[in-house]
Structures are given as structure tokens and as C-alpha cells.
Amino acid sequence: MARHSRLGLHVLVASLLISGCGSSPSSGTASSPHPSPATSVSSASLLAYTARGTDFGAGWTDTPSANGTDLTIDNGGHPCHQPYPSDSLRQAKNDVTILNPSDPSKVANDVVYYRDHGAEQALTDIRRVVNACSSYTQVNAEGGTISIDVHLSEASSSSLGDDRIAVDYRLTLGSYTIYSVVFSVRVGQYVTTAHTVSGDPAKAGRLAGLAAAASTTRLKTAPAA
């Protein structure tokens, strides 16, 4: 396969990962990216509840994302680019990107706090869109057409949090295929979402499960309001 096609797919995958979490990795390194749990909710305080590099083992490091607190609505990472009405109910948000220099897989995790029962609506929005969207296409920056298949993952039947939904993506450009899993878990009025990208579908699912489980455990100590 031509090199430009492989790079084009990698750009799209990075775009999906970033649009799902809202921003790219920060160019700086925070000395203490995970504050101690606070008694009130703010975007900054949510970093206490995200997944961390140490949750994945040696070599993985997490970095707060640039503009991770941005609440601008962007449908680019949603299946079929459909809107989630619950996005307007987000009160606070933050996210991290988790990478390993010796592993091409990528992980990102965002935590969102909602008002007015928006967390429950968020998972309802995802289910509604996925049930109506099984495949779609997207054109990358190089003009290549990416075929994207979407379906609910078996991980949706796990017992994490108060509610959960996992979505599997298969992205194909020519003869090259890559996999992504987006695993969202509700804990009270919070939703933590793990986004993974890998050339191995099983690994994409495993990494998403690790991130979602770690963040869910931390969110159990988060303030109710």
C-alpha cells in the first residue's frame, strides 16, 4: 500500500481520537497532572479521576491535553457525525492522552461532569446514534475516503459504574485497517470515556477496558455536586 495512504489513515485515526476527547496532547509536561480529589467540581479537579499511565504498566505516560477543558460542541467524533443533545449539559471537562513510545497503540481518556441529569442522557444519546448508524465514510485531509464500521461492543454488558456503553470502530482505507474502541461509563453525574486506537482489535478493547475501569474506580470518590 502506498505510504501516503497509510499516513492518511493514521491522520484520520488521530483525528477521531482527538475529536472524541476534544484536544491534542499538551506540548508541556505538568509536574503534577493529577491533583488530589477536591470537595467541589471544576474542570481542573477532574484530572484527579482520569486514567493514568501507571494503570497500563511500564512505558506508558499520561499528559493533560491541550484545551482539555474546552466545552465547544464538536460532532466530528460521533458515529455518523450525529449530534448528542447532552453535550449542551456538560458543566466541566478534562482529559489526558496516554502513550508508550514502544507501542503504536494510543489511549485517551476524558471525564465530564453534567448538570440536569445530562450524564444519563449522554449514554442514551450514544445508544440512539449507534443503533441508527452502522457504517459511514469520511474523507481525510489527503482526499482519501475512509470506510468506518460501527457496532456496540460486548464490553457494554460489563458491570462498571451505574451504566456503560462501548462502541467498536473499524476504519479501512484501501487494504489497511485499524481499530478503535470508545468506552463510556456513567458514575452518578459524571461520564468517563476511554478512546483507544490499535492495529489489533483485541488490544484496542483491552486498553479501553483498563482505562475505563481505572477512571471509574477513581470517580467513586468524586463529589456528587
pLDDT, tens only, 181-193: 999 999 999 999 9
* pLDDT at residue 169 is higher than 60: yes
Which pLDDT band holds residue 144 (cuts at 50, 70, 90)? confident
Q: What Cα–Cα distance (Å) separates residue 175 from each residue in 3, 7, 45, 144, 171?
A: 12, 13, 43, 13, 11
Q: What is the value of pTM for the model shown?
A: 0.86
47 and 33 Cβ atoms separated by less than 8 Å: yes
Q: What Cα–Cα distance (Å) separates residue 43 from each residue in 10, 49, 77, 111, 117?
A: 29, 11, 21, 9, 18
The length of the chain in residues reads 225
- Amino acid letter, 87: D
Nearest in space to 214 (alpha carbons), one of 185, 181, 175: 185
Higher-pLDDT residue of 104 and 140 is 104
Strand (E) positions, 68-224?
90-100, 103-114, 135-139, 145-152, 163-173, 176-187, 190-198
Give the least confident one: 6-20, 86-100, 112-126, 200-214.
6-20
Q: Going from the N-terminus, what domains does the chain have, and what CATH number goes with each? A: 3-24+37-219 (3.40.1000)
Pairing mode of beta strands 176-187, 103-114: unpaired
Q: Which residue, chain included where needed, has cell 450525529?
A: 82
